[in-house]
Amino acid sequence: MTNLSSTVDPSMDSGFLQDAIRTARYVRFGPFCIDQQRQQVSRHGTRLRLQGKVFQVLMVLVHKQGEVVSREELKQALWPADTHVNYDANVNTTVNKLRQALGDSSEKPLFIETVPRKGYCLIVQPEFADAPLPTARAPISGLSGQAHGATREPPSARSDLWITLGVIALIIAGMLLGAGITRLWIAHFGQQSIMPWP
């Protein structure tokens, strides 16, 4: 596997570097992996559904990582010159859809920062490679004493566990209640059966 972001000499011609980045099939940043050939984005291995223009905005930002991409540049990348649309509204909507898909926000950006009156900037360093990059693990949160590198059960497995425990608790409660009623029944009717007839 060739990781272009680490093997290309930074002193090389920037045009050559940009060509190498554009021809790399795979891109990874944070928990996301992009297959440029298939135009697919996944998060921790789960594929995201990105519309065409939303994917295009992401790729423009990725290829110009660390630079401010103006709204004009995005307009030119997304729509042909003869298209008649409300560019400002459409750029805003498309960037907002991308942020939503990435779980990002304009107030506390993790990936895409808004630069007031200038444009947008990808604030994480992507990796480029010609072979699939390993996906980043989902972050471990919660138990502070948990061993480093240990994985937590997915939420569905935890909820299944709680449902199973709840069912077992109900069965035990039913058995105890049944046993209590049986004891009362025997105590009450057992005494009547041994009482002498008048």
Question: How far is it, in rounded angstroms, from Cα 128 to Cα 84?
Answer: 35
| Secondary structure (3-state) at 101 | helix
Q: Do the Cβ atoms of 115 and 61 come closer than 8 Å?
A: no
Looking at 3.40.50.11030, 1.10.10.10, 2.40.70.10, 1.10.1060.10, the CATH number of the domain 4-129 comes to 1.10.10.10
Q: Do the Cβ atoms of 35 and 135 come closer than 8 Å?
A: no
Give the start-to-end residue ranges of the domains of the chain.
4-129, 154-198
Q: What is the pLDDT of residues 52-61, one digit of tens each?
A: 899 999 999 9
Predicted TM-score (pTM) of the model is 0.58
Average pLDDT of the chain to the nearest whole number: 76
Question: How far is it, in rounded angstroms, from Cα 46 to Cα 62?
Answer: 20
For residue 192, is pLDDT > 70? no
Phi-psi category of residue 9: left, alpha or beta, with phi > 0 → left and psi -120 to 50 → alpha: beta
Q: What is the pLDDT of residues 73-108, one digit of tens each?
A: 988 888 877 777 777 788 889 999 999 999 998 899
